[in-house]
Structure 1
Amino acid sequence: MCGIVAIFSADGGLGPGDLTAPMADLRPRGPDGEGTWVSPTGRAALGHTRLAVIAPASGHQPIAGPRQSVQLVVNGEFYDYRAIRRELRAEGCRFRTASDSEIALHLYLRDGHRALDRLRGEFAFVLWDERRGTLFAARDRFGVKPLYYTERAGRLFLASEIKALLSCGAEARWDTASFAAHLQLGLPADRTLVAGIRQLPPGCFLEADAHGTRVRPYWDLDYPPTAELPPAAGPRQLARHLEAVREQVDEAVRLRTVADVPVACHLSGGLDSSTVAASAARHTRLTAFTVAFDDPAFDESAVARRTAARLGIAHREVPCPRGRFADQLGPTVRAGEMVQENSHGIARHLHSAHIKQEGFTVVLAGEGGDEVFVGYPQSRKDLALSLSAGARARAATGYARLAGQGLPPYLCATLGTLGFLPGWIVDRHLAVTQPVTALLRGDFAAELAAADAATPLLDAGAGQLAGRAPVHQSAYLFAKSWLPGYLLAAERLDSAQAVEVRLPFFDHHLFDVVRRTPLAWYDKDGAGKYPLRAAMADRLPREVLDGQKRGFFAPPMVDDDAMLSTLRSLTEEPALRDNPFFDPHAVRTLLDRLAAAPAARRAGSERLLQLVASTCALADAFGLSASAPAHPTPSHHGLGGHRRV
């Protein structure tokens, strides 16, 4: 994990000074060294802040190709790189460093953009090809590592963080259409909350030259059509599938334990992090870290402690008392560059800080297990629709009743295209989209009511949605919206503490095995995620294997009277008074009502108040102003003035 910045100017004129400000913003991501390079023609400038993980004494970037004609900067890791280095050496390639990053340069020189097919890992990189006058950039398949870009004054700017692009002169303006999309389905995969700043979508690459900027996909989730899914056959077929799952989990974890620095892991009381810890402990010396909350309803440290003892690994607990949440809200939002809806972001930020203080740089974590193995409660509802004609018939009756009462455009579009409403979309509508309306300013409430974040998403994914089972359609839409835009924003929280978190479940080789799972096997034991539970049955404690799904949630802030007082003080600040979304009077009214209510009756407003508070913190951190969006409604199949092919 490092920080990268790149600038392209077809007309030249770039110099080292153009990199100074964004490099300063990216220094927390890479405190172990930095380097810059500017093309002799002034058409390209690259900067890199390094977190030394592989070959600490080597691997400084930018990395130059033969005759300095190609220059590369990388954020993240390429796994199984040693085998690829051997292959390339046998073909005559000469390496300048001992790092994993350099394989991307030589693969590109050999294969062009098809080099991406060989890269395995969590990464974002930018490469300047002086011969062709082309800037080439790419992002990993699931979007674990970020890459943002913007255009200004005829120049293209790319960076690992939004704040670095703001330092390059991008305007700090809210994109109200993107915020509306976030409230409905999550950020579109190609947009941010800042007008004019885009994301390179997961599984895509970008090319820029004198003719413009083009964005193309190189990978997609590609769930099999229902007709091509294998049947849930007998015990022999099941045993073979479980063995394949086990082998791929082990390989994905093993590859991610390769590092020239000590390796740690996150450990909760759940199946996913316990699986990663159990597999990693087979390959490396490991220390597990667990967040310990002061509220027993949210604390899993006791289960994690017993799991660590069973696995024979060292264990550390990281106290995260709720009393620290108020002071940490601003720093967390600034680091994550995203609004939050639960204090788990604050806990993650504190957790990573503690891990770094203990001397660890690389951490393995369990994110992705629920996405890949259908583990969310909402996903299991979609699975029921996929397996039962009776469940589909009952759902159709309920949908008809809802449609008769009038649905917002984005739900109408989803229902009309899919014939059902994915569980996570229904949950978000009931928990956020609908109730937040009471807190909104009139203009933005009208914009939200008319917005349709679903249609561009459905249109762009039409080929991957057609003929698929409801559970796969739901998972695909989730991966294209909520996953990279919100859940994986934790990468920024970790990187602010100079910690690299690796996610074995987001391994495309593992995904390729799991996506072919017969649907009935996902819930075979009635507890969910059967293929993973069964594959790990002999490695994990029974209390973990039998445990119910628990998301990583922190204790609610609304239970704390001091926090309510802090939030009320925000209603007098410019960040709320001048923002285009929330009505300060409505927010004050809600806070007064909550303050008068018992703590046990406040929890239902937690997500709404987190949205308000973190929106204020984001505006304050980056000076975001209220103005009309610079772009049309977010689009998954168009990138403003850019061509996406």
Structure 2
Amino acid sequence: MEALRLGWDGGVPKLRAAGAMARQGLVTTVSSRAGTAVVAGWVGSVRERVAGARGLLDDWGRPQTAPRLPTGDYAAVLVCRDRILLMRDEQARIPLFFRESGGRVTAVSTSARHLGDGAELERRYFCRYLTGNMAQPHSELTPFAGVHRILGGEVVELSITGQMRGRVPRHVRQTHDPSVRAADEPGLGGAAKDLRLALENAVGRRMGRMTACHVSGGTDSTSVALLAARLLAAGQGQTGDLVLLAGRFKRGELAAEQPYLDEAMAEIHRHAPAARPVILDADDVADFDDFQHHAGDPDEPHAHAFRAPFWSRLHAAAADLGCDTLLTGCGADPMVDANPFHLHRLARTGQLRQMTRQARDWAAGSERGLWDIVSAYVVQPALPLAAERVTALVRRRGTVLGGLGNFARPRWLRSGFARAHGYREAGIAESRFVFGRKPEQSLYEAANYLAAPDPLSWRRARQDGFFLSHPFLDPEVVATMRRLPAEAVFHPGRPKVVLREAMADLLPPRIGGRVVKVPFNQLYVRGLRTHGDELIDLCRSASHPLIAEMFDVETLCRAVREAQFGIGDSYSWDRVNSSLALVVWLERLDQRSRVRRAAMPVIAGS
């Protein structure tokens, strides 16, 4: 989807913003003596989009300045008097790409497909994509040769005529939010207070004119909705501008979530009586519904496209009510729970006795074996590719999915294609990103890209009029959790203890005390049972030449059949899901309309 575009006409930069998205407030254009900025998304806060965009231009428009990037969910292009700047926030929710040739950028857009129309496909990208479902947002590669991704937190500087001057990578500019302070007290109380403050700030930044909150009855989404209700009650919003959005299941295992949902809704209403509940019956929704649309239409292959039908239904309801932002509880599991890779730190620093003691506590609290804990959080991060190969040999036993983890080559990816286009190198790069030299720190960055289904939000933004936003992935929340000592956040048998303590005065006891939530496996199983044969037929009838070059189609079909029968686990099913999404994406590549939406011209610097 093209929200903004930068091109050159006779050597003069021409900056344009999509008119429909500008009218919806999704794209903001500001000008000053320093130049012109077009911002997709928001800087600073949702309510102050214009002020945030103007502040970004004022801070970065001065010659020879490079301040730290502000908080927000945005991609921005600044055409200043002496230079052009392309940038994204650290969380990388809004995409931004540029087409480059011979050291000169010839076009910039939020749509890789618009820049890559007619370009050769970049086969190395598909190897990187197939190593795991975190590969897309943190790789410079795109599906199109010559089209590059600006990474999260990166600033690209161009001359006024488009010559590349420099790229400042993410890790250089990543700093903790100055509002994050050290805990006033060393124990859980101080950690909980800090998290509560950071989470309140994160929710407040994301509240708009009419805010929707996804409420599932779990600790995470209920916490976000309660904080939003409290902020409105304190006068930081207008009466009645809070929507409580939920999917209701009357049948199957997900029906067990209904009592928790009812209690969450009742408690939120107690704080915000004017909040409007919108509860949608979702018994007829299954994963892979209308899969060709959800997987085939995005700019890039979307590994989580199988889950899009459920989210799309919620999005449509919020859009019908005129909501301008939708808050979720995504990201809480990795961000505010105890960090299990702390065990890796203990092992590599020689504290083996303490590591063993804490691993035993972890095993007892999670009802897992001691070796399972040590293998997952100490051995595998140290030797990820070797650990996967050993696991595959032990567990395969004649199946396609047995033992298939995050990085090992799936058997349906042809070995010749993998060797020719760098699959092993892609696997190494992905494993280093996921674990790094310090897995307890890499967890936060990797989780940021895995936790939220944002490609769907971006693709639907024009029709919905809003983006999803995730307070638990806010830089201030992440910075707060990064610095907390392990003893402050780990209590055996009580996950997310800091969050529960932080929200103790708001969460209903039934929700605050629950430790298990019913997963969405029901939607996946139903989807494969309903659409499995259709998916297999789709693979066998696919005609794009790259599919046969890349995949052994019959082996992929066998993997789909095994997933239907319940063989494998969530890791191997993710590999099947991403491969199916790629097949559909390639099949639809040449069928999509290349007619661009009307764009609204804006003043450009020169």
TM-score, length of structure 2 as denominator length = 0.74
Aligned residue type for 2:473: F
- Cα distance change of structure 1 residues 563 and 461 upon mapping to structure 2, 3 Å threshold: closer
Does 2:554 correspond to 1:585?
A: yes
Query: Counterparts of 1:469-508 in structure 2 under 5 Å?
Result: 470-479=439-448, 482-483=449-450, 487-495=453-461, 497-508=464-475
Partner residue in 1 for 2:3 = 3
Query: Following the alignment from structure 1 to structure 2, what is the Cα–Cα distance between the partners of residues 518 and 616?
Result: 44
1:342 positional shift: 6.9
Match of 1:383 among 342, 359, 362: 342
> Aligned partner of 1:3: which letter?
A
- Please tell me the residue identity of whatever aligns with 2:88: R
Distance 1:555 1:248, change over 3 A: same
Q: Percent identity?
A: 18
Structure 2 residue identity aligned to 1:244: D
| Equivalent in 524, 528, 547 of residue 556 of structure 1 | 524
Post-superposition shift, 1:276?
Answer: 0.8
Q: Secondary structure at the match of 1:371?
A: helix
Classify 1:574/1:73 alpha carbon distance in 2 versus 1 (closer, same or farther; 3 Å): same
1:352 alignment counterpart? 315
Match 1:331 to one of 293, 307, 312: 293
Alignment of 1:421-570 (within 5 A): 430-433=403-406, 437-446=410-419, 451-453=424-426, 456=429, 468=438, 470-479=439-448, 482-483=449-450, 487-495=453-461, 497-524=464-491, 526-548=493-515, 550=517, 555-557=523-525, 560-570=528-538
Instruction: Say yes or no: does 1:125 pair with 2:72.
Output: no
| Corresponding residue of 2:265 | 308
Kept in 2, the 8 Å contact 1:556–1:603? The answer is no
Task: Look up the equivalent residue of 1:489 and give its one-letter code.
Answer: P
Unaligned runs of 5+ in 2: 233-240, 270-274, 360-369, 390-400, 592-606
- What is the aligned partner in structure 2 of residue 145 from structure 1? 94
How much does 1:205 deviate? 0.8
After superposition, give the CA deviation of every residue in 1:546-583 in whole Å (9 maximum; x if it has no partner). Answer: 22365666611566544122112213323577413321
Whether the aligned pair in 2 keeps the contact of 1:365 and 1:503 (CA below 8 Å) is: yes
Instruction: Give the Cα–Cα distance (whole angstroms) in 2 for the partners of residues 113 and 494 of structure 1.
Output: 35
User: What is the number of equivalent residue pairs in this alignment?
Assistant: 536
Q: 1:76 corresponds to which residue? A: 41
Q: Distance in 2 between matches of 1:60 and 1:437?
A: 40
Q: Which stretch of the first structure deviates more once superposed, 562-571 or 431-440?
A: 431-440
| 2:205 alignment partner, SS class | helix
**Aligned twin of 2:333:** 370
Please say if 1:267 is aligned against 2:215.
yes
1:411 matched to 2:385: yes
**CA 1:315/1:558 → structure 2, altered by over 3 Å: closer, same or farther?**
closer
Q: Deviation of residue 499 (structure 1)? A: 2.2
Q: Secondary structure at the match of 2:132?
A: helix
Whether the 8 Å contact between 1:185 and 1:454 is mirrored in structure 2 is no
- Output the amino acid matched with 1:331: H
The answer as to whether partners of 1:150 and 1:170 remain within 8 angstroms in 2 is: no
2:255 maps to 1:292: no
Question: Is residue 2:199 matched to residue 1:249?
Answer: yes
Alpha-carbon distance change, 301 to 196 in structure 1, aligned in 2, over 3 angstroms: farther
Paired residue secondary structure (1:104): helix
Checking the alignment, whether the CA contact within 8 Å between 2:219 and 2:511 is kept in structure 1 is: yes
CA contact (8 A) 1:53 1:361 kept: no
1:572 to 540, 544, 560: 540
CA distance in structure 2 between the partners assigned to 1:147 and 1:268 by the alignment: 32
CA contact (8 A) 1:347 1:554 kept: no
Query: SS in structure 2 opposite 1:311?
Result: helix
CA distance in 1, matches of 2:522, 2:534: 18
C-alpha contact (below 8 Å) 1:144/1:491 kept by paired residues: no
Distance 1:78 1:593, change over 3 A: closer
Q: Is the 8 A contact 1:342 1:553 kept in 2?
A: no
Deviation at 1:390, TM superposition (A): 4.0
Query: Shift of residue 61 of structure 1?
Result: 5.0
Change (3 A) 1:368 1:113: farther
Q: What residue is the counterpart of 1:47 in the other structure?
A: 17
Q: Which runs of 5+ in 1 are unaligned?
A: 14-40, 86-96, 416-427, 625-645
1:101 aligns with 2:53: yes
Give the counterpart of 2:190 among 240, 244, 247.
240
Q: TM-score, normalised by structure 1?
A: 0.70
CA drift at 1:202:
1.0
C-alpha distance 509-400 of structure 1, shift in aligned 2 (>3 A): closer
Q: Is the 8 A contact 1:410 1:454 kept in 2?
A: no
Match of 1:282 among 230, 240, 246: 230
Rounded Cα–Cα distance in structure 2 between residues aligned with 1:237 and 1:408: 31
> For residues 193 and 429 of structure 1, what CA distance do their matches in structure 2 show?
29
| 2:242 maps to amino acid | L
CA apart distance, 1:528: 2.1
Q: Is the 8 A contact 2:132 2:575 kept in 1?
A: no
What is the one-letter code of the residue matched to 1:142?
Q
Q: Deviations over 1:336-369 (max 9, x none)?
A: 7333257323322232122212332211122232
Deviates more, 1:363-372 or 1:605-614: 605-614
* Structure 2 CA distance for aligned equivalents of residues 445 and 80 of structure 1: 44
Change in 2 beyond 3 A, CA 1:326/1:406: closer
